[in-house]
Amino acid sequence: VEEHLRQAQKMEAVGQLTGGIAHDFNNMLTGVIGGLDIVRARLASGRHDDVQRFLDAASQSAQRAANLTQRLLAFSRRQSLNPVALDINGLVRGMRELLSRTLGENVALDFAFADALWPVRADENQLESTLLNLAINARDAMPGGGTLRIATCNVDVAERDARLAGARAGEYVLVEVADTGVGMSAELLERVFEPFFTTKPIGQGTGLGLSMIYGFAKQSEGHVDIESREGEGTTIRLFLPRADATAVEAAVAGAPVHAAAD
Ligand code: ADP
């Protein structure tokens, strides 16, 4: 039953996804075709005014369509993960410059690192792009400024809590990313993990950020959840599994550790 349910949900997501893309892509093609039609008509009647402008518009529209297919390809390819033992505190510290620049002058960046944080087992690139994506979302949610707080801690998820949260029991490192932005309504919150779901204008949002983070958490055998209140802010919690001692040794020795296939 669960397998069927999962399959049905997947099909629904694919349906929404292809419908949305077909629509966007069609709009872009309409821009290209429309622009070229106008240019053809002008040239046929010997008028050269504005021809350059319409050609530019057509070319821009074509470029947007090309970007969309690029993103689609990247999404469907879903680079395979290369999980290694990572020190999240160090990784976040190393991203301070990049995160501050992303957030802009009006948003303060605040860290709260736990001491003796366990190493996690995760793909470094994916973790970095996750944090960057969350910072971009936070910036967009705080147009009038605010604070982004990144906190880390060790958590031991008990069997019972794990069942409630849909995660596995075990030892995790929790990375909490909290903003003081506009927050989300319950309806919005329900859809944010859907691929290509965005409330941002075309060219600004892809709607892939959170769905990729969801995929990353699942593939890492971790967990992600979001808590949000309209007008108050949003907190994303990312649970990544603790790396075991052998993984740490291997990582120190420079050998990447591959997750066992399940
Ligand atoms: P994108 O950012 O490209 O729209 P995401 O999947 O990252 O794609 O986010 C989907 C939607 O979720 C956003 O368009 C926005 O409406 C909402 N959202 C995401 N993060 C936040 C946040 N920190 N605060 C408020 N809304 C958010």
Instruction: Give residue-wise pLDDT tens across range 109-125.
Output: 999 999 999 999 999 98
Enter the DSSP assignment of 257.
P
Query: Above 60 in pLDDT, residue 258?
Result: no
Higher model confidence: residue 133 or residue 4?
Answer: 133
The pLDDT of 125-138, averaged and rounded, is 92
What pLDDT shows up at residue 15?
59
Residues 6+ apart with CB under 8 A from 132: 95, 98, 99, 102
What pLDDT shows up at residue 199?
93
Q: Measured from the CB, is residue 198 less than 6 Å from ligand 1? A: yes
CA distance 71 to 209: 11
The first and second tokens of residue 158, run together, are 């008990």
Angle, helices 51-77 vs 2-44, to 10°: value is: 160
The pLDDT of 177-182, averaged and rounded, is 98
The Å distance, Cα 170 to ligand 1 centre, comes to 29
List the single range of 13-27, 127-141, 191-205 with lowest mean pLDDT.
Answer: 13-27
129 pLDDT band, cuts 50/70/90, is: confident
The Å distance, Cα 81 to ligand 1 centre, comes to 24
For residues 238 and 224, the answer to whether their CB atoms sit within 8 Å is yes
Average pLDDT of the chain to the nearest whole number: 85
110, 177, 248 from 244: Cα distances, Å: 29, 25, 7
Query: Above 70 in pLDDT, residue 98?
Result: yes
The pLDDT of 236-259, averaged and rounded, is 66
CA distance 79 to 94: 23
For the CA of 199, the closest atom of ligand 1 is 14
The pLDDT of 146-151, averaged and rounded, is 98
User: DSSP of 106-143, one letter per residue?
Assistant: TEEEEEEPPTTPPPEEEEHHHHHHHHHHHHHHHHHH-T
What pLDDT shows up at residue 60?
92
Of 21, 99, 137, best ligand 1 pocket probe by most atoms within 8 Å of the beta carbon: 137
E strand or H helix that includes residue 7: helix 2-44
Query: Above 50 in pLDDT, residue 244?
Result: yes
Higher model confidence: residue 65 or residue 106?
Answer: 106
The Å distance, Cα 250 to ligand 1 centre, comes to 37
Query: Above 80 in pLDDT, residue 97?
Result: yes
For the CA of 208, the closest atom of ligand 1 is 6
The Å distance, Cα 223 to ligand 1 centre, comes to 18
The Å distance, Cα 136 to ligand 1 centre, comes to 9
Q: Measured from the CB, is residue 107 less than 6 Å from ligand 1? A: no
Regarding an ipTM greater than 0.95, the answer is: yes
Query: Above 60 in pLDDT, residue 220?
Result: yes
